[in-house]
Each structure stands twice: as structure tokens, then as C-alpha cells.
């Protein structure tokens, strides 16, 4: 048998060639898969690490670089019509309503919204919801002002309370927190049973309705903070309306909101009406004092009169000097008249008392004189000429002695001074009660009539 020839150096056996190739192919595939996986992770991590705040800066630089804030936006649907600005406000607080200066102070968040197509931008698939600015000079702003403003200021603690939001479709939202002192002309004829309407008026200063129109936001243009507390008023309701004004330079768009305030009557009932009633009733105490107690009655009358005058001057000091008569003027005037009348009543009683004493003294003197100088009655009866006068006097006495309840009751008080006191005890309370009935029915009815 012939021997097997040896394998040449460097050659491979046919059975090992496929195994080596497979190994190289597997290594190559693993390397490619690892390379693809790493490149995929790098691409994914690259997308996740995109800084959209930096994109906002780029977008702002892009849209504001070519923007001119001096030019107003176009009208609806890109037309040359007026720019439409939608307004809504949020009333945060109402700090005071001053009757003397006829003004009120309010703090509110004021918002305006309009469409400016020049500010459209790419939102990167919804990643940028809106852009925020704090400098209002960078974009066009409506020239709105408060026409009945006396003074106002912005809030800058800790940062200025203002922002401007630009949305991808070009809508601009301007929001700012401000405090205003506004004039509020008041009608005080029914004070303190009155209701006052204070307005907040907003208008364009330079743009006419051909270029700029203000509209209230649909649905809920005015919001008021819950649990709004005022010291002496209650906010009953508010109404929004339009108040466009025409001047010789054109027609200007105007918005207004009317705030209806009702005055809280309980404060005035406790501070004014009840004290005045008490002073009037105290002045009646002098009717029950003895007419000879001159110091007590004079002191009581003068003290109540001065107290009532001080009360009246204090009330008028808290109100503006108006030319018409207020409801509180009627009340204090009548109460002052009753107190003054009680003091005058004592003067009349004192005069009647002295007159009664004088008459009593004269009667005693006449009785003494008659006892000395009067002739015997039997002598008078014998004279026939005196018979008719005595009969006539008896007839007059019988006519005067007919029964009369008032006279019978007053006859219990022999002196005129005492009778004046007794009549005053009844007359003053009755007249004061009648005045209260007329006063409250009149002014409460007028209040309801004005409300309707």
C-alpha cells in the first residue's frame, strides 16, 4: 500500500476552511451590530438633549429682528381693517370708596389680547407653546388709557408684574397688575340709604376706530376675587358696556364696567341713628322733672343740645359740601329741632310758672281787699239792681261746667306750667314717632324706586 503524501507548509485542510470563515463572518456581524446600536443611541441622545429654551432665543431673535413696533397689526384675516383688541380684567381688591373726594381705589390684573401675524413662528411640533417677553417696547402695544383715572402705579416687587406671551399663530397676550384711584361722581340725596355706581372706563388715546377697536372678551370679561370685603359697601353686581366717544379728531373706541355698590346701613344705624334717638329721648326727661328744678332742667337741655350739634357737625365733616339736602340732613335736623324744642319748652314752663305765681299773689291780694272792703251779702240781696247780674253769672258758670274729658283731665293740674309739661310728655313722643314713620317709609320707598 502506498504511503499518504504529507500536507504542504501553510496549507489548510479542507475540513477547517468553512469553520474559520463562519467565525469571521460572525465577528463582523457583531461588530456591525454594536456599531449600529451605538450610533442609534447617539442619535437618540442627541434628540433628547436639544435645548428648546435656546430655540426660543433663536425664534425671538428671528421674529423680532425684522419686526417694527411702530406699525400696527393688520385687521381680521390680514385685511386693512382695524386691529381688534380683546380686553378682560380681574378685580383683585377694592381698598376704599371715599365719599368726600368721590373716588375709589382698585387693584386689578388687566389683560389685552390681539393678533399680529408678523409674530408667527415655528413651534417645533408643539414643543414651544408660547414665547414670553417682559419688555413691552419690543412689540406693538394698544394705546389704551383709563379716562377717569386720578392716579395709578405699577407693581415692581420683586419683579415687574407684567408679561407678554406670543403664541405660534401670532396671538399676543399682554397682562399687567396695576393699582388705580378712579373718580366716582356720587349722588348723596339718599345717604346713607343710597347705592352708588362707580365706573371704570378704558379708551384709545390716539388710534381711531378706523385703526383700533376694543372689545370685551366673550363669556367672562370681568372677574372679581371671591370674598371681596369692603368696610362700608357691598358690591352687588357689575355691568360691562361700550362708551365710544366722538371728538373733532374722530371716533375712539371705549370700554366701561359699572360697579354697583350698596352702602351698609348697619354701620350708620349704630353710629348715627340710634345715638340721635337716644339724645332726643334724654331731652324729654326734663318734662318729668319738677318745674322748680331750674339748674337740672337747664343743664339737661343745654347738654343734649350741644351733644346733638356736635353729632351733626361730625356727620357733615365726613361728607362733601353738596347743594342738595341729604337723607341724613333731614334726620339730624329734625332731631336737633326736637332737642331744641325741649329746651324751649322749659323756657315756656318757667314763664308760665312765674305767671302762675303772679296770678296766685294777685288772687290773694284781691281776696284780702275783698275781705276788708266787701259789704255784707244780705245788703246786696236787698238791692234789687244786683239780682240780674248774679243770675247771669250763674248761667255763665253752668255753661262752662259742661262735661269735657280733656278739660276734666287737665283740671287735675291746677297750674298752667304743670299742664304744659303734661301735654309735652305726650305730644313730643307722638310727633317723633310720626316723623319716624314718614321718614323711613319715604326714603325706603325712594330707594326701592331708584333700584327698579
Using the CB atoms, write b or e for 400-413: b if 16+ within 10 Å.
Answer: eeeeeeeeeeeeee
**CA dist., res. 204 & res. 144, Å (int):** 5
Instruction: Return the CATH fold of 52-263.
Output: Acetylcholine Binding Protein; Chain: A, (2.70.170)
For cell 438633549, what's the residue?
49
Angle at 310 between CA 305 and CA 312, to 5 degrees: 95
Pick from 300, 299, 336: nearest CA to 315? 336
- What DSSP state is assigned to residue 322? -
Helix axes 294-317, 327-373, angle to 10 degrees: 160
pLDDT of residue 145: 94
**CA dist., res. 186 & res. 336, Å (int):** 27
Phi first, then psi: give them for residue 207, nearest 5 degrees.
Answer: -90, 130
Note the CATH number of domain 265-354+413-451. 1.20.58.390
- Residues 99-134 have pLDDT tens digits of 999 999 999 999 999 999 999 988 888 888 899 988
Contact residues for 227 (Cβ-Cβ < 8 A; gap 6+): none
For cell 343734649, what's the residue?
304
> How would you classify the pairing of strands 195-204 and 254-263?
antiparallel
Could you give the residue range(s) of every CATH 2.70.170.10 domain in the chain? 52-263
For residue 187, give Cα distances in angstroms to 23, 35, 196, 264, 349. 103, 86, 7, 16, 44
Contact residues for 196 (Cβ-Cβ < 8 A; gap 6+): 97, 184, 186, 187, 233, 260, 261, 263
pLDDT in tens, the chain (452 residues): 444 444 444 444 444 445 676 676 766 666 666 555 555 554 444 444 566 677 888 888 888 888 898 999 988 877 888 999 999 999 999 988 999 999 999 999 999 999 999 999 888 888 888 999 888 888 999 999 999 999 999 999 889 999 999 999 999 999 999 999 999 999 999 999 999 999 999 999 999 999 999 999 998 899 999 988 888 899 999 999 999 999 999 999 999 999 999 999 998 999 999 999 999 999 999 988 888 888 898 999 999 999 999 999 988 888 888 889 999 999 999 999 999 999 998 888 888 777 766 566 666 666 667 666 655 555 545 554 544 444 455 444 445 545 566 556 555 666 777 888 888 899 999 999 999 999 999 998 876 666 65
**CA dist., res. 193 & res. 451, Å (int):** 12
**CA dist., res. 410 & res. 416, Å (int):** 9
Percent of all residues in the chain with a pLDDT value above 90, rounded to a whole number: 48
Burial of 54 by CB count in 10 Å (0-12 exposed, 13-18 middle, 19+ buried)? exposed
pLDDT of residue 333: 94
From edge to edge, which strands make up the β-sheet containing 195-204? 144-146, 195-204, 254-263, 233-242
Largest CA-CA distance found in the chain, in angstroms, rounded? 219
Pick from 200, 235, 207: nearest CA to 221? 200
Query: Residue 336: helix, strand or coil by DSSP?
Result: helix
Question: Is the pTM value of this prediction over 0.85?
Answer: no
**CA dist., res. 144 & res. 203, Å (int):** 5
> How would you classify the pairing of strands 212-216 and 83-98?
parallel
Angle at 78 between CA 73 and CA 79, to 5 degrees: 95
- Residues 208-220 have pLDDT tens digits of 999 999 999 998 8
pLDDT of residue 11: 44
Helix residue ranges per DSSP H, 239-386: 265-268, 274-283, 294-317, 327-373, 377-382
Task: Print the SS3 string covering 173-233.
Answer: EEEEEEEEEEECCCCCCCCCCCEEEEEEEEEECCCCCCCEEEEECCCCCEEECCCCCCCCE
Through-space distance between the first and last CA atoms of the chain, rounded to whole angstroms: 138
* DSSP per residue, 237-256: EEEEEE--EEETTEEE-EEE
Amino acid at each position: 500500500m502506498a504511503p499518504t503524501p504529507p500536507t504542504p507548509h501553510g496549507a489548510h485542510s479542507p475540513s477547517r476552511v468553512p469553520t474559520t470563515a463562519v467565525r469571521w463572518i460572525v465577528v463582523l456581524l457583531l461588530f456591525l451590530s454594536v456599531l449600529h446600536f451605538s450610533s442609534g443611541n447617539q442619535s437618540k441622545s442627541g434628540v433628547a438633549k436639544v435645548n428648546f429654551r435656546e430655540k426660543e432665543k433663536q425664534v425671538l431673535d428671528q421674529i423680532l429682528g425684522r419686526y417694527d413696533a411702530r406699525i400696527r397689526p393688520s385687521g381680521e384675516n390680514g385685511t386693512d381693517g382695524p386691529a381688534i383688541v380683546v380686553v378682560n380684567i380681574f378685580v383683585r381688591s377694592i381698598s376704599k370708596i371715599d365719599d368726600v373726594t368721590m373716588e375709589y381705589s382698585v387693584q386689578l390684573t388687566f389683560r389685552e389680547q390681539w393678533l399680529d401675524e408678523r409674530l408667527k413662528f415655528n413651534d417645533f411640533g408643539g414643543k414651544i407653546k408660547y414665547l414670553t417677553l417682559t419688555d413691552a417696547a419690543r412689540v406693538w402695544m394698544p394705546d389704551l388709557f383709563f379716562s377717569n383715572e386720578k392716579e395709578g402705579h405699577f407693581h415692581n416687587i420683586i419683579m415687574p408684574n407684567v408679561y407678554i406671551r406670543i403664541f405660534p399663530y401670532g396671538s399676543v397676550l399682554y397682562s399687567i397688575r396695576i393699582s388705580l384711584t378712579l373718580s366716582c361722581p356720587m349722588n348723596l340725596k339718599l345717604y346713607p340709604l343710597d347705592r352708588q355706581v362707580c365706573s371704570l372706563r378704558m379708551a384709545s388715546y390716539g388710534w381711531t376706530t378706523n385703526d383700533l377697536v376694543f372689545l370685551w372678551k366673550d363669556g367672562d370679561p370681568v372677574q372679581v376675587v371671591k370674598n371681596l370685603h369692603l368696610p362700608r359697601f357691598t358690591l352687588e353686581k357689575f355691568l360691562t358696556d361700550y362708551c365710544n366717544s366722538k371728538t373733532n379728531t374722530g371716533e375712539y373706541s371705549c370700554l366701561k364696567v359699572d360697579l354697583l355698590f350698596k352702602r351698609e346701613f348697619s354701620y350708620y344705624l349704630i353710629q348715627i341713628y340710634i345715638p340721635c334717638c337716644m339724645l332726643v329721648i334724654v331731652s324729654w326727661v326734663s318734662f318729668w322733672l319738677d318745674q322748680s328744678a331750674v339748674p337740672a332742667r337747664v343743664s339737661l337741655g343745654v347738654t343734649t343740645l350741644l351733644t346733638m350739634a356736635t353729632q351733626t357737625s361730625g356727620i357733615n365733616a365726613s361728607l362733601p359740601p353738596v347743594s342738595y339736602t341729604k337723607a341724613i340732613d333731614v334726620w339730624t335736623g329734625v332731631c336737633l329741632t326736637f332737642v331744641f324744642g325741649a329746651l324751649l319748652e322749659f323756657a315756656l314752663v318757667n314763664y308760665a310758672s312765674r305767671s302762675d305765681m303772679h296770678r296766685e299773689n294777685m288772687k290773694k291780694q284781691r281776696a284780702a281787699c275783698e275781705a276788708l272792703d266787701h259789704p255784707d251779702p244780705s245788703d246786696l240781696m236787698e238791692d234789687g239792681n244786683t239780682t240780674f247780674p248774679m243770675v247771669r253769672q250763674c248761667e255763665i258758670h253752668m255753661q262752662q261746667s259742661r262735661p269735657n274729658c280733656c278739660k276734666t283731665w287737665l283740671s287735675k293740674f291746677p297750674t298752667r306750667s304743670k299742664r304744659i309739661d303734661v301735654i309735652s310728655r305726650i305730644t313730643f313722643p307722638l310727633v317723633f314717632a310720626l316723623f319716624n314713620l314718614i321718614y323711613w317709609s319715604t326714603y325706603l320707598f325712594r330707594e326701592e324706586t331708584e333700584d327698579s
